[in-house]
Structure 1
């Protein structure tokens, strides 16, 4: 139970946002949720939260507003747009955007919020659906140190690694690096799976022993069952990872950082999307390796 319950508005109750909001309720906060589709709101209400019929209604008396939406256009619409967060919150409110977007959009949001006396943090997350459900997300936070200190008890209800990484936009920069590492990691795990299968090795046993050594990773632990069973219900969609690879390649170019392997991973993610795999979990990069191996992919 949180020692200081807060009135929190949570905008965006999707695959990640829904369990994150539920964990805030479990921590003792008063959480009012808004989502475009009503079933997600009803799910939060069933978990002990409150529902709202609009962004304006959700944020009306909130001390903290959290947004968790797919991409930059939705962040701008929800926070900056007509009927959005900044039109309806009181000065001093803390707005925490936990979406994965460009650092430039986070800075744009912060600049507009500052003019209205509203505080902001960019706090994207890593850990996928399982991490959101288990409240073990890694949360990388950009913004003022005082605002981070104010937000940390709230963020602690959703993650176990909650770190202030720098000024506004820094959280998104670190998240871009995270998505770079994850994409490359998933790709090489997928390549290893096809290699092991072609060699006739016991795949589950092989992945178990690899997970216990230097080749082990959170990606391997979280995604090996997806790959073994060819079950790709989305925890994090390829469509969204494609968006994130665009962010990291653009951000890296802006600071003249080479991404030779990352650029190839970005192309492979784009290829998976072009082949119709965009709605699937990003572990479905395995399907691209199977295509390269001449296998028929259904």
Structure 2
């Protein structure tokens, strides 16, 4: 049994913390929302009164937060992880943030004898609920080995991909591919429907051939139905595309398709779709094609 401090009990953090508690770990979790803390308690964890309370006695601290400002506040701020955790604590930041932030946090933490891994995840809410996340980890190999038993509770594909910041670079690559595939599936649906072809049948064929993908496997039915209840919001994917473009600039490489996908995601936000699932890129493509129309499947919004 490991004592785990878990900061950030959102749509992914809550099921992840619950899996860790169910596996027998002693989990003290904190979130600014009281209902999130209550959910952790009902799953067998302990609702902490704050960050310091969650991490003070922890062997492992996990942060699962929206973006780098929240991570910096929780880790570096007053009563934060670096100030409150004991020397030797292993901090696994499973948020998706800028690689340079992960590197800077590791450098700051080393002075306090706190070990750091950047360990962003892929799989969305469904992956978190099913304990089937992909976890890409940057940091020291020995720290990765120490954290692996914890990662194995919440993930299925887990890899040490390089030094500090490398996990975030791999996550940026993941997000640019995911965004690109969503955009292409959206275009396929618009083309099929505008041509009088049943999109559901057409996508079934595509899913069984070389065009097949996890996105087609998991999302083609909901996209055709225009069911955009969020598993991963456009707002968050917009943030991630910014990280990918910044990483490309840092590496001095050209990613032209990534730039186009980033603009499609930005257009989705500008159209007011930021709270929808990123599969709602279909709405953007429909608008560009003059085929936008409300459906009963969207009425929940």
TM-score using structure 2 length: 0.95
Q: Does 1:69 align with 2:65?
A: yes
Partner of 2:223: 227
Equivalence for 2:210? 214
In the alignment, is residue 190 of structure 1 matched against residue 186 of structure 2? yes
The equivalent of 1:174 in structure 2 is 170
Query: Which of 109, 112, 137 is the equivalent residue of 2:108?
Result: 112
Asked if residue 239 in structure 1 is aligned to residue 235 in structure 2, the reply is yes
CA distance in 2, matches of 1:225, 1:78: 39
Q: Give the SS at the match of 1:277.
A: coil
- The aligned length equals 294
Are 2:50 and 1:54 equivalent residues in the alignment? yes
Equivalent residue, structure 2, for 1:161:
157
Counterpart among 143, 150, 173 of residue 146 in structure 2? 150
Q: Structure 1 residue 139: deviation in Å? A: 0.3
Asked if 1:13 is matched to 2:9, the reply is: yes
Q: Distance in 1 between matches of 2:169 and 2:187?
A: 28
In angstroms, what is the RMSD of aligned CA positions?
Answer: 1.0
- Structure 1 gap segments, 5+ residues each: none
Tell whether the 8 Å contact from 2:283 to 2:292 is kept in structure 1 after alignment. no
Give me the TM-score of the superposition, normalised by structure 1.
0.96
Quote how far apart the aligned CAs of 1:26 are.
Answer: 2.1
Q: What is the CA–CA distance in structure 1 between the aligned matches of 2:112 and 2:65, rounded to whole Å? A: 22
**Distance (whole Å) between structure 1 residues aligned to residue 57 and residue 190 of structure 2:** 53
> Which moves more between the two structures, 198-207 or 107-116?
198-207
The equivalences for 1:70-109 within 5 A come to: 70-109=66-105
Aligned to 1:41: 37
Unaligned 5+ runs, structure 2 = 295-301
| Partner secondary structure for residue 156 of structure 1 | helix
- Cα distance in 2 for partners of 1:199, 1:49 equals 53
**CA–CA distance in structure 2, aligned partners of residues 225 and 157 of structure 1:** 30
